[in-house]
Amino acid sequence: MTSYKELGLVNTREMFAKAVAGGYAIPAFNFNTLEQMQAIVQAAVETKSPVIMQVSKGARNYANGTILRYMAQGAVEYAKELGCANPQIVLHLDHGDSFELCKDCIDNGFSSVMIDGSSLPYEENIELTKKVVEYAHAHDVTVEAELGVLAGVEDEVASEVSHYTKPEEVEDFSKRTGCDSLAISIGTSHGAYKFTPEQCTRDPKTGKLVPPPLAFDILHEIEKRIPGFPIVLHGSSSVPQDEVDTINAHGGKLPDAVGIPEEQLREASRSAVCKINIDSDSRLAMTAAIRKHFDEKPGDFDPRQYLKPARENMKKMYMHKIVDVLGSNDKL
Ligand code: G3H
Ligand code: 13P
Ligand code: ZN
């Protein structure tokens, strides 16, 4: 058993309370590699932001859970080395799909877990979430649950369509499960293709796709029913057009990729939404820099030559999200 406290990590409780009260959101960045971890820590330290570093089941399979855990411990020490006296870093399991996986993470240094029972019938979601909450709280680990289904791929779970969260269920669900935060479905989805071209309109000036707006009416109804309760948005990458254009200009093929407009995420951050999940934008920033590098310098083959600009591009993106979208800067 390794407690997250031994690793210098924190859970989300205090962080979320401050974010809800302060009208900003905590960035939750997925990571799989050393360069992503370095860029996240550098961005968080330079902007004085708390940060959630999250690991999916796929990331654990790719990079190894033990390595990722010690990378999170390394992140805390690295942040201190960079001059941050009191880093607020959470190691979070993203889209946990069983009690056993959540328990394994809690026993191995995670300070927060998500149990994603959103594809289960309501009562089964409650039962599973409650079981995870009981174990997690006994170890002072916080739990994110999910109600409503996002379209697209949720780790290994795929859904063709989204089912918005039903506001009339949130009070009963949060009370009966004891969860610490709730991921909701209001029109975001995972990946770089959040909407089909048919779901969008085209901007007559640029010809670019304009996605349908998020269901803010549902978010506000949820806020009314559970005032101050921490809300989480998954699938919140913006899929920056300049990164997509760079990828496509250097041999990539991402036709009609489209994300969530940043103004809408800014608006959500000012509400009870206190955690915003971003993974695809990091993938795009990394891929754009690497493709450009290879195109311009075809003779390079030392990974440091192309991973350095990739890391810098991700750091720039993380800092932009923190300062210009979520507003979590200057909070340490
Ligand atoms: O919600 C999904 C995250 O983007 C994680 O993706 O399962 O491919 O690591 P992954
Ligand atoms: P994006 O694919 O929009 O980055 O969403 C990531 C996410 O929700 C991770 O859980
Ligand atoms: Zn997600």
At 151, the pLDDT band (50, 70, 90 cuts) reads confident
Substitution candidate for ligand 2 out of 26, 114, 146, 237 with most atoms within 8 A of CB: 237
pTM summary value: 0.96
190 lines ligand 2 (CB under 6 A): yes
At 208, the pLDDT band (50, 70, 90 cuts) reads confident
The pLDDT of 233-249, averaged and rounded, is 98
DSSP string computed for 268-326? HHTTTEEEEEE-HHHHHHHHHHHHHHHHH-TT---HHHHHHHHHHHHHHHHHHIIIIII
The DSSP secondary-structure symbol of 227 reads T
30 lines ligand 1 (CB under 6 A): yes
pLDDT in tens, 155-165: 444 455 668 99
Integer Cα distance of 37 and 30 in angstroms: 9
User: Helix and strand tally (H, E) in the chain?
Assistant: 12, 12
User: What mean pLDDT is reported for the chain?
Assistant: 95
Distance 83 CA to ligand 1 centre (A): 31
Q: Is 117's pLDDT higher than 80? A: yes
Residue positions counted in the chain: 332
Q: Which residues are catalytic?
A: 94
Distance 123 CA to ligand 2 centre (A): 26
Atom 9 in ligand 2: which residue has the minimum CA distance? 277
pLDDT confidence of residue 154: 44
At 230, the pLDDT band (50, 70, 90 cuts) reads very high
At 196, the pLDDT band (50, 70, 90 cuts) reads confident
